[in-house]
């Protein structure tokens, strides 16, 4: 699994313009299985821990409303960053990604995340 996650991190870092940080976190336990950042004071594991609460709250809201829906992704737009929380198809993991909004190509970013989201569901 670690080789797959390292390859995932390398591909994300290499192919996503404006890349800042990424983490892959298990929803049930909150454990981050992979994290990386190109900004020294940006801690993707800490960011994932806080965003785990966002994911859990939304999953609880969907359940309480009786919706038969899955979360595809959650996007948070800050002043100069975009944070994307991409949930695996089995609702067991999420990819947390932070990019510089001035450099990011959202179409390319979401396409790559969708590709890796499928891999994460199958390989983890």
CATH number, residue 86:
3.30.450.30
CB 61 within 8 A of CB 36: no
pTM of the model: 0.91
User: Are 56 and 65 spatial neighbours (Cβ–Cβ below 8 Å)?
Assistant: no
97-123 b/e (C-beta count within 10 Å ≥ 16 → b): bbbeeeebeeeebbebbeebbeebeee
Structurally, the chain folds into a number of domains equal to: 1
Domain residues for 93?
A: 1-122
Q: What is the pLDDT of residues 21-51, one digit of tens each?
A: 999 999 999 999 999 999 999 999 999 999 9
Q: Round the average pLDDT of the chain to a whole number and report it.
A: 91
> What local confidence, expressed as pLDDT, does residue 46 receive?
96
């Amino acid at each position: 699994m670690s080789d797959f996650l390292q390859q995932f991190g390398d591909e994300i870092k290499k192919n996503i313009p404006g890349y800042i940080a990424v983490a892959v976190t298990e929803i049930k336990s909150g454990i981050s299985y992979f994290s990386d950042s190109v900004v020294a004071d940006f801690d993707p594991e800490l960011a994932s821990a806080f965003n785990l609460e966002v994911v859990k709250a939304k999953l609880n809201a969907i359940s309480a409303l009786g919706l038969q829906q899955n979360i595809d992704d959650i996007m948070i737009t800050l002043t100069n960053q975009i944070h994307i929380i991409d949930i695996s198809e089995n609702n067991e993991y999420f990819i947390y990604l932070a990019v510089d909004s001035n450099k990011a190509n959202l179409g390319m970013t979401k396409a790559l995340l969708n590709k890796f989201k499928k891999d994460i569901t199958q390989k983890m």
